[in-house]
Amino acid sequence: MESQEADKNPVVQRLRQWDAEVVSEVIEFRGETTVVVPREQLQRVAAHLASEPFLYFAFLSDITTVDRFPIEPRFEVNYHLLSIARGDRLRLKVRLPGNDPTLPSVTSVWPTANWHERENYDLFGIRFEGHPDLRRILMPDDWEGYPLRKDYPVEGPR
Amino acid sequence: MTTTVETPTGAAQTMVLNMGPQHPSTHGVLRVILELNGEIVVKAEPIIGYLHTGIEKSCEAKTYSQVITLTDRIDYLAPLSNNLGYCLAVEKLLGLEAPKRAQYIRVLLTELTRIASHLVWVGTHAIDLGAMTVFLYTFREREEIMKIFEYVSGQRMMTSYFRVGGLALEPPPGFLDNVRRVIDALPGHIDEYEDLLTNNRIWLGRTKGVGIISGDDAIAMGCSGPMLRGSGVAYDVRKAFPYSSYEDFRFEVQTQTAGDCFARYQVRVAEIRESIKIVRQAMEKVAKMDGPIKTEAPGIIPPSREEMKTSIEGLIYHFKIYTEGFAPPPGEVYQVIESPRGELGFFVASDGSAKPYRVKVRAPSFVNLQSLPKLAVGRLIADVVACIGTTDIVLGEVDR
């Protein structure tokens, strides 16, 4: 849902001014702003958000995925950004189809993304292109399947 | 296994050493693969996952209230911080707020949790570096705080005392007197630990200048909590994004600029003293107040026992809440609190049903541990112990 409130958000305005193409949707819920970004634009947007002085989201707090199975696009990857200098938070969201869950790695922008991306790869099977060392992190190396996907049962045989 | 590497002084033989997963200084089951050139660490790689219990997956099969008991088990040294983070996230999803009195009691107890957690840290870290005595003292004081938790919630560790919309129970009579007794004794005890450690030459030798990380690196690596504040970045969620009425309390964000193990030690000791101040203020506020410990929201928050027994609506709500739970509106929230280890985040996504669609725990230990190679490389193997120690990891939280 696109609300007028979200349009007034200075971060969203700045992003739109910079490049209107990168904001495909803005969601405002309980005072949190989510900007939906096309996956081709993710790396550009990330670099811009992290370095542009007015935005300055230098701290990547978290990367997490939501599996909307069986709805397509199936995966939503959320990036929780924090600007310590400005005291502001922002969520970037990238939607990915179930048959091709790949997106560019942001480790070059935020080095902390390394383990977060490995975790999302491990538990959801999201492949981050350009990641320096994309291996399982929590599950054993020879584990089959991705446990946090919705078509993976909580208990019983797979 | 040996390999040959090029160093500034020529080719050198390195040895790969497996530290853990059963090493006592790793506080659980952390494995670090060290590549050594003599005693110098050339490469360090933490291997985690030995305690992975799939808590996030389990959350999806439970109702919103049942998940609270799982959050206790994430960071078992600070269960109340986890309870608080999760409850605040669900309250945000519902658009509710706990009553002021409940918020102050939450602050009081989470600050006690912080003190207890930092006490465990001081003790165990000292034992890692060879100072046995401090451990015995800090655990004595920690036990007193545990007794308060037991008195309030019936459990020393798996408290589950905070509930969505407030608290589980009215604190028992004499609660504040018990807290006061413990809190009044603490400053003297902390002076004792500082006498044993702060100017101790061995302690200084083992921690000063060891495991340095700069403020910019700490931000880039996503470090939070005492890790970040020890490197000179004054970021504390309690100040930056106040939750649970932290804006009503006076306290200072403790920072040090050196960014080494000693700075992190200083930050944590100073934080214990700050937390004592906050607990004192919270005690004052709670003593002066009267009021409910749960907010009123029919169909979401269980009705009082009297209402349940006397009114038909109360009985229906009680039955419905305990059989099918409550359903928040669809949406996603990310709630952050300052746990003893740093920025603890709960991402909760709802699809409008009575079970959370997705719960993600942004565990500060997990992220902080990632910078271990930055701290340890180039140092002696013995310093690795100090580096792991001052990162203050809880493996239950790292692996979830």
From B88, B87, B105, select the one nearest B290 (Cα to Cα): B105
Per-residue confidence (pLDDT) for residue B115, from 0 to 100? 93
d(CA B294, CA A101): 43
Contact B358 A110 (CB under 8 A): no
Contact A138 B49 (CB under 8 A): yes
Kindly report the number of other CB atoms within 10 A of residue B333's CB atom. Answer: 22
Beta bridge partners of B344: B337
User: CB of B375 within 8 A of CB of B211?
Assistant: yes
Instruction: For residue B19, give both structure tokens.
Output: 């530290």
At B2-53, the pLDDT tens digits run 555 566 655 667 888 888 787 766 677 888 888 888 888 888 889 988 888 8
Beta bridge partners of B88: none
Residues of A with CB under 8 A from a CB of B: 29-30, 32, 34, 58-62, 64, 66-67, 78, 80, 84, 87, 89, 91, 110-112, 114-116, 119, 123, 136-140, 147-148, 154
- Residue B96 is classified by DSSP as -
Per-residue confidence (pLDDT) for residue A5, from 0 to 100? 57
Sign of CA dihedral A36, A38, A40, A44: negative
At B168-203, the pLDDT tens digits run 888 898 899 999 999 999 999 999 888 888 888 888
Contact A64 B54 (CB under 8 A): no
Instruction: For residue A141, give both structure tokens.
Output: 């190396």
Contact A89 B241 (CB under 8 A): yes
Cα A132 to Cα A62, A96, A105, A129, B376: the distances in Å are: 18, 21, 9, 9, 20
SS3 B337: strand
At A126-155, the pLDDT tens digits run 999 988 988 899 988 888 889 898 888 887
Kindly report the number of other CB atoms within 10 A of residue B29's CB atom. Answer: 18
Instruction: Identify the residue with better confidence: B312 or B6.
Output: B312
d(CA B160, CA B168): 8
d(CA B207, CA B318): 55
- Residue A20 is classified by DSSP as G
Classify residue B139 by burial, with Cβ atoms within 10 Å: 0-12, 13-18, 19+.
middle
**Residues 6 or more apart from B161 whose CB is under 8 A from it?**
B80, B83, B109, B149, B152, B153, B167, B168, B169
User: CB of B59 within 8 A of CB of B48?
Assistant: no
Does residue A156 have a pLDDT over 80? no
Amino acid identity of B282? A
Give the whole-number percent of chain B exceeding pLDDT 70: 96
Per-residue confidence (pLDDT) for residue B308, from 0 to 100? 87
